[in-house]
């Protein structure tokens, strides 16, 4: 106790001394700066006034006026002496100095004036037939000696006062702390002895400390006794809580498993919903070429029936045959072109749909497959003014999971169409892919609205969407992240500037890792 008592007293005295010392040093520094500033102002003022008042009197060789001006400037005690030299004569024109008693007396060139000196040239704008009237004429120079004794005396006085304050405060603090801590540590010693006796007992019985005191320490003792009484009930409650926690942990583990299964189901539903949208779009897209093909075939059938009737009726006109040939040629061209277009759409959709409904891996050309994915998205893209540009070498080939890859490109494209552009916006989505050894670097960029900075770190979180209640599920980019990281063993990063678009950087191995069978 006594050692803590001494350490506390020493610590508080040292802290107060250090704080007062720092405060005094800062105050001394401020006073020094203020005195230096005033001294600089005084020096500047004396020199400036002399440069203004002396040239005219010196030009007229008016020594009494010069003497009176010098005596006026000698009034501040900081000015120790002033000497004025005339350029038209050799030697001192006039001088004043302060003697040991502080009186202002005459000074000559040989007078020893202490202090620091400042000199300035005196110029006069007068009328001189031999000079340019607008040009200042040097008429002499002035030398002023200044004293720093006032500054040093003020700083010394302030330092003595600060030291005395620190000593007085330290003595008062030492006495006050010694008395105050004695009042605190005496009852603490009694409380310590009681606690030590309580801690060394071997019995489980709770022996309460005496509660006779009515001050703050009495409240501490009463609080300690209440803690002991409550400790028993807490231990019992803790044991019951541990049992409940074990049961709750088991229930939580089961709930987590159910949540993961539900999330997997939602992800699968999102992928199937995307495929359903693809089916509807392709069906709508195929309807146009199939309709044109049926119409052309119907027109060609009617023309064939008419020419057949004409042949059966007798001689056929050349104009009828030419008209039929023209109709047959145009109808055949329309049938072939639209049938080819429908077949190409069906082939692309067939491959994409098969890939998205199974997890089979196979080799595929990257550029060709990206083009097929974009073609399958044509029903969605054609209603916008967004252009998709693909930059990829034809020779890049992946041994991977084409269905998962198609899901990635589809989700990124639909996400850009939904979030990056407004209904009537124009823009460009660019997909670039390069091969670096066994790695594929793929960049998906748009020039749309960009992502706010506070949302960039959240876009891959499940169920995060800015279109909550307007069709957004928050699973599109989460699916992309999981496919790239877990199935392809790659990485995905995003950079976005508000108003300047978004860029996704994807790195995946050219040969996807083998999926372990459960």
pLDDT mean across residues, the chain: 79
**Least confident segment among 158-167, 267-276, 449-458, 493-502:** 267-276
Classify residue 146 as exposed, middle or buried by CB count within 10 Å of its CB (0-12, 13-18, 19+).
buried
Give the three-class secondary structure for 35: helix
Query: What is d(CA 312, CA 307) in angstroms, rounded to the nearest whole number?
Result: 9
Q: What is the pLDDT of residues 48-57, one digit of tens each?
A: 998 888 888 8
Judge whether residue 178 has pLDDT over 50.
yes
Q: Do 142 and 133 meet the contact criterion of CB atoms below 8 Å apart?
A: no
Report pLDDT for 119.
86
Report pLDDT for 427.
92
Residue 435 binned pLDDT confidence (cut-offs 50, 70, 90):
very high
**Tokens found for residue 332:** 């055949």
Q: Do 184 and 178 meet the contact criterion of CB atoms below 8 Å apart?
A: no
Q: How many residues does the chain have?
A: 518
Residue 406 binned pLDDT confidence (cut-offs 50, 70, 90):
confident
Residue 276 binned pLDDT confidence (cut-offs 50, 70, 90):
low
Report pLDDT for 109.
77
CA distance readout (Å), 289 to 35, 337, 346, 350, 453 = 97, 8, 11, 17, 45
More confident residue, 237 or 283: 237
Judge whether residue 127 has pLDDT over 60.
no
CA distance readout (Å), 66 to 46, 47, 159, 440 = 14, 14, 41, 93
Judge whether residue 432 has pLDDT over 90.
yes
Q: What are phi and psi of 465, to 5 degrees?
A: -150, 150
**Tokens found for residue 260:** 């993961």
Nearest CA to 413 out of 440, 446, 382, 391 is that of: 446
More confident residue, 76 or 467: 76
Judge whether residue 112 has pLDDT over 70.
yes
Report pLDDT for 342.
64
Judge whether residue 219 has pLDDT over 50.
yes
CA distance readout (Å), 167 to 19, 20, 180 = 13, 10, 20
Residue 517 binned pLDDT confidence (cut-offs 50, 70, 90):
low
Q: What is the pLDDT of residues 290-341, one digit of tens each?
A: 777 777 777 778 778 888 887 887 777 777 778 778 777 777 777 776 676 6
- DSSP track, 416-469: IIIII--TT-EEEEEEEEEEETTEEEEEEEE-SS---GGGGGGTTSTT--S-TT
Q: What is the pLDDT of residues 465-484, one digit of tens each?
A: 766 545 456 677 888 888 89
Report pLDDT for 391.
94
**Least confident segment among 41-45, 75-79, 231-235, 502-506:** 231-235
Residues 180-204 have a mean pLDDT of 64
CA distance readout (Å), 439 to 403, 485, 494, 510 = 19, 14, 18, 5
Judge whether residue 428 has pLDDT over 90.
yes
pTM strictly above 0.85:
no
Q: Which helix H or strand E contains 491, and what residues bound it?
A: strand 491-497
Residue 518 binned pLDDT confidence (cut-offs 50, 70, 90):
very low
Judge whether residue 131 has pLDDT over 60.
no
**Tokens found for residue 37:** 């500033």
**Least confident segment among 85-89, 193-197, 383-387:** 193-197
Give me the half-sphere count of Cα atoms (radius 13 Å) on the Cβ side of residue 311. 8
């Amino acid at each position: 106790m006594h050692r803590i008592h001494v350490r506390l007293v020493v610590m508080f005295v040292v802290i107060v001394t250090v704080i007062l010392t720092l405060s005094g040093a800062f105050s001394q520094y401020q006073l020094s700066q203020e005195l230096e500033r005033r001294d600089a102002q005084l020096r500047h003022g004396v020199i400036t006034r002399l440069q203004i008042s002396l040239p005219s009197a010196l030009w007229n060789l008016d020594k009494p006026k010069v003497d009176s001006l010098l005596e006026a400037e000698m009034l501040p005690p900081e000015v120790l002496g002033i000497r004025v030299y005339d350029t038209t004569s050799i030697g001192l024109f006039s001088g004043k100095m302060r003697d040991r008693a502080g009186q202002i007396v005459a000074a000559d060139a040989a007078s020893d004036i202490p202090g620091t000196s400042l000199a300035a040239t005196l110029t006069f704008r007068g009328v001189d037939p031999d000079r340019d009237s607008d040009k200042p004429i040097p008429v002499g120079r002035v030398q002023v000696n200044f004293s720093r004794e006032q500054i040093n005396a003020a700083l010394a006085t302030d330092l003595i006062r600060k030291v005395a304050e620190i000593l007085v405060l330290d003595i008062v603090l030492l006495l006050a702390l010694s008395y105050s801590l004695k009042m605190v540590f005496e009852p603490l010693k009694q409380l310590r002895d009681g606690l030590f006796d309580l801690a060394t007992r071997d019995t489980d019985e709770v022996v309460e400390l005496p509660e006779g005191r009515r001050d703050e320490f009495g409240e501490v003792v009463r609080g300690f006794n209440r803690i002991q009484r409550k400790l028993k009930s807490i231990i019992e409650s803790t044991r019951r809580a541990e049992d409940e926690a074990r049961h709750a942990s088991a229930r939580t583990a089961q709930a987590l498993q159910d949540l993961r299964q539900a999330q997997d189901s939602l992800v699968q539903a999102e992928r199937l919903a995307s495929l359903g949208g693809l089916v509807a779009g392709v069906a709508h897209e195929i309807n146009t070429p199939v309709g044109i093909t049926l119409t052309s075939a119907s027109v060609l059938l009617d023309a064939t029936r008419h020419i057949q009737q004409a042949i059966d009726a007798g001689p056929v006109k050349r104009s009828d045959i030419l008209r039929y040939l023209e109709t047959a040629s145009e109808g055949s061209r329309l049938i072939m072109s639209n049938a080819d277009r429908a077949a190409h759409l069906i082939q692309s959709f067939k491959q994409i749909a098969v890939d998205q409904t199974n997890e089979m891996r196979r080799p595929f050309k990257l550029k060709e497959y990206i083009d097929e994915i974009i073609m399958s998205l044509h029903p969605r893209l054609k209603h916008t003014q967004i252009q998709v540009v693909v930059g990829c070498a034809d020779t890049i080939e992946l041994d991977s999971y084409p269905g998962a890859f198609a899901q990635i490109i589809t989700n990124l494209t639909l996400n850009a169409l939904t979030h990056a552009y407004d209904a009537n916006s124009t823009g460009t989505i660019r997909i670039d892919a390069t091969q670096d050894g066994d790695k594929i670097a793929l960049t998906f960029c748009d020039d749309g609205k960009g992502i706010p900075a506070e949302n960039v770190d959240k876009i891959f979180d499940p169920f995060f969407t800015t279109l909550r209640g307007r069709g957004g599920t928050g699973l599109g980019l989460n699916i992309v992240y999981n496919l790239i990281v877990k199935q392809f063993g790659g990485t995905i990063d995003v950079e976005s500037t508000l108003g300047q678009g978004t860029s996704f950087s994807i790195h995946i191995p050219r040969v996807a890792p083998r999926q372990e069978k459960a």
